[in-house]
A and B are shown apart, each in its own frame.
Chain A
Amino acid sequence: MSDPSDHDNLPLGYQQLLDGIPSTVLLVSESLRICAVNQHFLEKSRRRERDTLGRRITEVFPRVILERTDLQANIEQVFRSGQPMRGEQMSYRAPGISRRVYFYSIVPLSCENGSKRVMLFVEDVSERARLSEEVRRVERRLASVVESASDIVLSTDNEGRIRTWNPAAETLSGLSAADVSGRWFAQLCAEEDIDEASRVLAQIKAGSQSQTAEWRLPTGSGQSLLVSWVFSAMRDDYGEMIGMVAVGRDLTERRELEMHLRQSQKLAALGVMAGGIAHEIRNPLSTCYSAVQFLDDPDLDADLRRECIDKIKASVEKASGIIENLLRFARPSADDEMQETDLCAVLKDTTELVANQVKVQQISLTLSLEVPHLQLRAIPNLLQQVFLNLLLNAINAMPDGGELRVELRQVQNLALVDVTDTGVGIPSSELQKIFDPFHTSRQTPNGTGLGLSICYSIIQRHLGSISVTSRVGEGSTFRVQLPIL
């Protein structure tokens, strides 16, 4: 039932103002009848003005809302106390429609004629609630990704102080999140890596996209883990850097496996070089043998005697030099740390190792270095293994002789090493697969198929890249790119 005495005929301007508000606004009298209503409410409740004005709120609002919000009691309370009631939330799900969430306030008003009103302001925040629920869900999911990761995931503030530290970090380091919270990341690294760590973090701060590194992470009791880290900047919506994220992987097991693999490949490479080695050693042996046979003659003239002795000395030195080189290469090397390395020296040593093999296959080998020294961070014996593999492959590709060129150039902050042969070439169908483990071609029956995959992983570990271009019948060029210091 409507009671016309409760209708408030609002001045035109006020009514328009109310109608412009995209939320429900109602004026309610002390008798809990609706005295004014805006367009938004009428639309949402699908009511007409004349069925609404003067009606009691209990007739206008669905029972479930009335019960859930205790609306009637709250309005009466505001009338009594004269104090507004703000910020109540109410959620409501009608059959067949999605959950709605409302936010409502009740504000007491005094009219000119002394009568009292309250303004009921109801805002539909369903969408906002849904979004924040969605945000929470995504956050929970992200958090559980970080929590369940078996890699270390940590974040720091802009200064490099640790903010978050996931369970994998706790397990691997033996330090709890509480232990490390607020500590400098760099100071958690092993002592020898602290400077390097500070430098990398400074580079990230200076705008570098991402940085990778291998540092030891002390795990207490004098032990440490070798960890491969990837660092990147964390940015807010405006692109401002708000911290750093570091993901670290325990390399212990992988390194061990790789070491065994490299060692067996190394021995295979030695097998390939055996012919060249034999040739280079039997020649000085032959010289010695001849000299000794001459010396056996008691009537040998003094000049030839002197010559014989000199030849023996020089030949023994030559042969033992060759053997020493080989031993150094063949010896299982501990998985060394990255160190400042002269790429030119590595290339010189490596070309020397294959000089024997090159000679017995009528191959001319040229090494051209654009600069006399080129420093980079590397594990020298691993780089040597890469270049040795490339050189032996090239030699294998030229059974009838040819040219083998090793060229080093510097292009901006990259070292470019091209190993070019004039051999049989690689069919384009095989080019895609040659870096796959155990891929081997029929042309190289003594290959293990591991050489290039090992090259690939070693170069990757040095943050470089390796690629190949080839034409069947003309030869191939392998290009190694490495970042320089």
Chain B
Amino acid sequence: MREVSVLLVDDEPNICWAIKALLRPPRYRLLSLNSGSEALSRLQHESFERIIVDAKLQDMNGLDLARRIRLLNPEAWIVLISAFYYSDDQTVTAALSEGSIQRFVAKPFSHQALLDALDPEPPVAEGSDDPLASR
């Protein structure tokens, strides 16, 4: 099973705790940072297969961060999570259609929804409803 590298940018420690407990090794290698500027400097010399960005960070707007990440890496797979926006929010749908983010997950989220958003391919699991076992 191939390891997937994930960068999480959220300033809510409890959300980081939950996602860390969800995206565990050996399937995932997770790095969590709590500001946009830290994320940008890290991305200068390291790339991640999946990037989870919270929409409201202390130092910048998550959508702006997503756009700047895209300038660094046009191939980046970015999942926006937010307690502020709803999934049919105009800001969100616009960001999805312009391609600055690939997926959106509203908080509170089911773990399966987040896992799905991280997985660009259709699920391959059969006969199992345990999201962790399906990888």
Contact = CB atoms under 8 A, between A and B. Distances in A.
A339 to B, nearest CB: 37
A283 B110 contact: no
A290 B61 contact: no
Nearest to A297: B130
Contacts of B14: 283-284, 286-287, 311, 314-315
B15 A279 contact: no
Interface of A: 275, 278-291, 293-294, 304, 307, 311, 314-315, 359-360, 362, 364, 401
Contact of A362 (B17, B59, B106): B59
Contact of B17 (A287, A293, A364): A287
Contacts of B59: 362
B108 A285 contact: yes
The list of the 9 closest CB pairs from A to B, nearest first, reads: A290-B18, A282-B83, A286-B108, A286-B107, A289-B108, A287-B14, A285-B108, A279-B84, A360-B56
B57 A283 contact: no
Contacts of A281: 83
Nearest to B130: A297
A263 B111 CA distance: 41
Contact of A304 (B21, B82, B106, B110): B21
Contacts of B12: 283, 287
Interface in B9-53: 12, 14-15, 17-19, 21-22
B73 to A, nearest CB: 23
Nearest to A284: B14
A290 B22 CA distance: 9
Contacts of B84: 275, 278-279, 282, 360
A280 B109 CA distance: 15
Contacts of A314: 14
A281 B18 CA distance: 16
Given A283-B12, A287-B14, A362 B21 contact: no
Interface residues of B, number: 23
Contacts of A364: 58
Contacts of B72: none
Q: Is the interface of A mostly helix, strand, loop or mixed?
A: helix
B60 interface: yes
Given A279-B82, A294-B21, A362-B59, 17 more contacts: A279-B83, A280-B83, A282-B84, A283-B107, A285-B83, A286-B83, A286-B107, A287-B14, A289-B109, A290-B19, A290-B109, A293-B110, A294-B22, A311-B18, A315-B14, A362-B58, A362-B61
15 contacts: A279-B83, A282-B108, A283-B15, A286-B14, A286-B15, A286-B83, A287-B18, A288-B108, A290-B22, A290-B109, A291-B18, A359-B56, A360-B84, A362-B56, A362-B58
Contacts of B110: 289, 293
Contacts of A278: 83-84
Nearest to A276: B84
Contacts of A280: 83
Given A283-B12, A307-B17, A362 B57 contact: yes
Nearest to B13: A287
A359 B109 contact: no
Nearest to A308: B21
A114 B60 CA distance: 121
Interface string B46-89: 00000000001111110000000000000000000011100000
A288 B108 CA distance: 8
Contact of B111 (A275, A290, A362): A290
Contact of A311 (B17, B19, B106, B108): B17
